[in-house]
């Protein structure tokens, strides 16, 4: 008996109605990026492990999908290497059997692209990219092993105006979607400064990884993780008022500036955040606020990826319980790992699959964005089809999404097809209509029927 087909855990099929919704998401984000002068690129699904490894931190490296070398991948493995394989040393196994991996995100491949194509690029270079990525994560609600990202990055400029523009892009996209969000912002320099002032500068990665989990695991578990990472009780105690800080953005900035008064890098981070907030949320903005959504300084926001060096961002939906739906930040020297130091960049990534789930939960899709065929021509036979085909072409030339039923089946079957696909209009042409050079147009919602010319039909369907 044939085995029932299935798909891997953490992946999904998308049918026509789902793809219409996803294309609405893609098109909306693409249009906003283009408004700001971004250009599209694509990179391969696979990258060399040399490109990928070590760029996402220890936890990220564990989530890379590695691709076995082609052919007999064990043929060149020596007895000594086979022994290492049997001992199940993950790094040895990967080095012996795999040279490539599926991309974990779009940012590291983009950095590789910039280095390889530097002579072709005009800096600053503003790119957007929408492609799937893969992570060997544990599947759960809102978390998939294969999912799409929609990134926008600006490289070759240190200006904080780039951060300001990215916040505006985020705000514009979710305003167009009709989704209320909270945009959280922090700065890795502030986090570095905090690590300095509590005497744990060497623990910056451990601190950021731990406090980034505050929303998920709670303060007590964060503190326990910090203990396990080697922070003293005194250092943990100094962190408490910082990671639980409340108040307005200005109040938080004033407090943290005082805490970081002896940290040069920390104060630089404070100044960068002040500039971004002042550009987007001027004190006297009144009704002319630059953003439609709330921008909140969150000192616990850390973003797990090691390459962030400045401002970091994360977006949460306010009306749906789900993880981050957009994130990103400043990376001052990501291209340096590929032999081109000194090129600064900043970028964001829209989590398309989570945004899809949010829009589904809130039913935020415009009707015309998800509807398919607008007009169906009924097929009565060869003579009638020959009469209808030029009219079908005219309807399509007018921009109307039009089908003609391929078989001269029973009327009930053809009408059922129209109803099943929620086609709002049906055109019928029998002997009477052909004799008059017209069509009968039926509104499938109201049931109303009219005898019309093709020009009148086009006008009515397009209204």
Q: What is the pLDDT of residues 221-231, one digit of tens each?
A: 888 888 888 88
Q: What is the mean pLDDT of residues 54-70?
A: 83
> How would you class 323 by CB atoms within 10 Å of its CB: exposed for 0-12, middle for 13-18, buried for 19 or more?
middle
Distance separating alpha carbons of residues 430 and 142, to the nearest angstrom: 52
Q: Decide: 296 and 183 in contact? Cβ < 8 Å.
A: yes
Query: In a 3-state reduction of DSSP, which class is residue 329?
Result: strand
Structure tokens at 204: 């910056």
Give the burial class of 267: count Cβ atoms within 10 A of its Cβ; 0-12 exposed, 13-18 middle, 19 or more buried.
middle
Of the chain, the percentage scoring pLDDT greater than 90 comes to 60
Structure-token pair, residue 295: 């921008």
| 337-379 pLDDT tens trace | 788 888 889 999 999 989 999 999 999 998 777 778 999 999 9
Mean pLDDT of the chain: 89
In this prediction, residues 264-275 reach a mean pLDDT of 96
Angle among Cα 380, 382, 387 to the nearest 5 degrees reads 80
Per-residue pLDDT reduced to its tens digit, 9-21: 999 999 988 999 9
| 443-460: pLDDT as tens digits | 999 999 999 999 999 999
How far is residue 384's CA from residue 374's CA, in Å, rounded to a whole number? 20
Query: Of 303 and 225, which is predicted with more confidence?
Result: 225
**Residue 287 pLDDT > 50, yes or no?**
no
Q: How many CB atoms lie within 10 A of CB 375?
A: 25
* Distance (Å, whole) CA 347 – CA 249: 22
Q: What angle do CA 436, 439, 442 make, to 5 degrees?
A: 145
Question: How far is it, in rounded angstroms, from Cα 192 to Cα 306?
Answer: 12
Task: Indicate whether this model's pTM tops 0.85.
Answer: no
């Amino acid at each position: 008996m044939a085995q029932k087909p299935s798909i891997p855990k953490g992946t999904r099929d998308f049918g026509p109605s789902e793809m219409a919704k996803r294309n609405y998401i893609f098109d909306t984000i693409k249009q906003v990026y283009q408004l700001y002068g971004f250009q599209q690129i694509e990179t391969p699904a696979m990258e060399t492990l040399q490109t990928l490894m070590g760029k996402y931190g220890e936890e990220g490296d564990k989530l890379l999908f590695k691709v076995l070398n082609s052919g007999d991948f064990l043929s060149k493995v020596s007895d000594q290497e086979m022994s290492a394989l049997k001992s199940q040393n993950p790094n040895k196994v990967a080095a012996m059997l795999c040279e490539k991996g599926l991309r974990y995100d779009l940012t590291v491949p983009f950095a590789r692209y910039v280095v390889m194509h530097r002579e072709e690029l005009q800096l600053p270079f503003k790119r957007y990219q929408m492609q799937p990525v893969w992570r060997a994560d544990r599947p759960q609600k809102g978390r998939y092993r294969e999912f799409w990202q929609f990134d926008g990055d600006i490289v070759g400029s240190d200006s904080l105006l780039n951060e300001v523009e990215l916040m505006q892009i985020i705000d514009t996209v979710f305003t167009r979607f009709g989704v209320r969000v909270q945009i959280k912002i922090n700065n890795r320099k502030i986090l570095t400064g905090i690590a300095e002032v509590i005497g744990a500068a060497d623990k910056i990665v451990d601190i950021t990884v731990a406090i980034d989990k505050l929303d998920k695991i709670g303060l007590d578990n964060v503190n326990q993780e910090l203990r396990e990472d080697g922070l003293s009780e005194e250092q943990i105690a100094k962190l408490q008022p910082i990671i639980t800080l409340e108040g307005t953005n200005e109040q938080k900035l004033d407090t943290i500036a005082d805490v970081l008064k002896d940290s040069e890098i920390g104060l630089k981070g404070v100044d960068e955040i002040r500039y971004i907030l002042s550009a987007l949320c001027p004190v006297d903005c009144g009704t002319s606020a630059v953003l439609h959504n709330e921008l909140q300084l969150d000192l616990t926001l850390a973003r797990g990826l090691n390459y962030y060096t400045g401002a970091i961002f994360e977006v949460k939906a306010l009306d749906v319980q789900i993880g981050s739906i957009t994130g990103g930040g400043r990376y001052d020297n990501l291209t340096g790992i590929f032999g081109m130091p000194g090129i600064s960049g900043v970028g964001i990534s829209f989590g398309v699959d989570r945004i899809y789930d949010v829009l589904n939960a809130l039913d935020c899709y415009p009707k015309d964005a998800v509807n398919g065929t607008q007009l169906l021509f009924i097929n009565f036979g060869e003579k009638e089809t020959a009469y209808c085909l030029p009219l079908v072409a005219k309807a399509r030339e007018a921009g109307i999404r039009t089908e003609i039923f391929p078989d001269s089946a029973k009327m009930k079957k053809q009408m059922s097809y129209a109803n099943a696909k929620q086609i709002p209009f049906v055109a019928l042409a029998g002997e009477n209509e052909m004799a008059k050079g017209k069509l009968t147009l039926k509104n499938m919602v109201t049931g109303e029927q009219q005898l019309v010319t093709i020009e009148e039909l086009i006008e009515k369907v397009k209204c």
